[in-house]
């Protein structure tokens, strides 16, 4: 018996467009982001996916993305689980800053380390390792049992919270996961066996 895990990064947000560090701040989706979310829903419907369970973060851009996906799939009257364990990485003192301004303030090399190292957090924020430390236990406790039981689970979340999951699912090391891009509004579908291991991956 295999379960199906569908991961979708939220559509483009207003702060993605402005090149700002977002983290736990709450900007909405741009028109492009809305279109990306709708396209994800259309793609999943065309493939015939029928999720049994729905998870998202405590942040508006991911919740709105999930709502739009479900609208396009014609799914209603359901329970959505929202939990901050699936929130984006907390960028701390960088949140709300333009990435170019941050480079001017702290230097190109330091900002690059904060953005692209696995275990070095920005001031007041989280590293990817810190993010994984809250995402993975939540996944193992709440989502994995459903997959092992053969269910289809849809998760709408964020670049780094999903990266923490993808690292484990795809068996990537600390260097490889930092290079793994997760596009906005582009579903990644994993087939998961009864032991919780990935059997196959499809990017829509």
CATH number, position 113: 3.40.50.1240
**Is the Cβ–Cβ distance between 41 and 73 less than 8 Å?**
yes
**Among 171, 162, 159, CA closest to 189:** 162
Residue-level pLDDT at 79? 92
Residue-level pLDDT at 80? 96
Residue-level pLDDT at 116? 85
Residues of the chain with pLDDT under 70: none
| Active site amino acids | 10, 88
**Among 42, 96, 72, 70, CA closest to 156:** 70
Q: Which two tokens stand for residue 45?
A: 């419907």
Each as own residue / partner, the long-range contacts of residues 66-69 (CB below 8 Å, 24 or more positions apart, any chain) are: 66/8, 66/154, 66/156, 68/11, 68/34, 68/37, 68/38, 68/41, 69/8, 69/37, 69/38, 69/40, 69/41, 69/44, 69/154, 69/156
Residue-level pLDDT at 101? 93
Q: State how far Cα 4 lies from the chain centre.
A: 16
Residue-level pLDDT at 1? 79
**Range(s) of the domain holding residue 155:** 3-203
Q: How many domains does one find in the chain?
A: 1
Residue-level pLDDT at 83? 98
């Amino acid at each position: 018996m295999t379960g199906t895990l569908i991961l979708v990064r939220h559509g483009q947000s207003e702060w993605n467009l402005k090149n700002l560090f977002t983290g736990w701040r709450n900007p909405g989706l741009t028109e492009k982001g809305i279109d990306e979310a709708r396209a994800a829903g259309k793609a999943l419907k065309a493939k015939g996916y029928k999720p049994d369970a729905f998870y998202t973060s405590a942040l508006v851009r991911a919740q709105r993305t999930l709502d739009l996906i479900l609208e396009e799939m014609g799914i209603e009257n359901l329970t959505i689980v929202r939990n901050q364990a699936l929130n984006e990485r907390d960028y701390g003192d960088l949140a709300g800053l333009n990435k170019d301004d941050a480079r001017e303030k702290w230097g190109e090399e330091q900002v690059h380390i904060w953005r692209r190292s696995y275990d070095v957090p920005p001031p007041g924020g989280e590293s990817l390792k810190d993010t994984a430390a809250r995402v993975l236990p939540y996944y193992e406790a709440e989502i994995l049992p459903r997959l092992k039981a053969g269910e289809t689970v849809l998760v709408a979340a964020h670049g780094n919270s999903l990266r923490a999951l993808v690292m484990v699912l795809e068996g990537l090391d600390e260097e490889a996961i930092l290079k793994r891009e997760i596009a906005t509004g582009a579903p990644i579908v994993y087939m998961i066996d009864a032991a919780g291991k990935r059997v196959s991956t499809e990017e829509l």
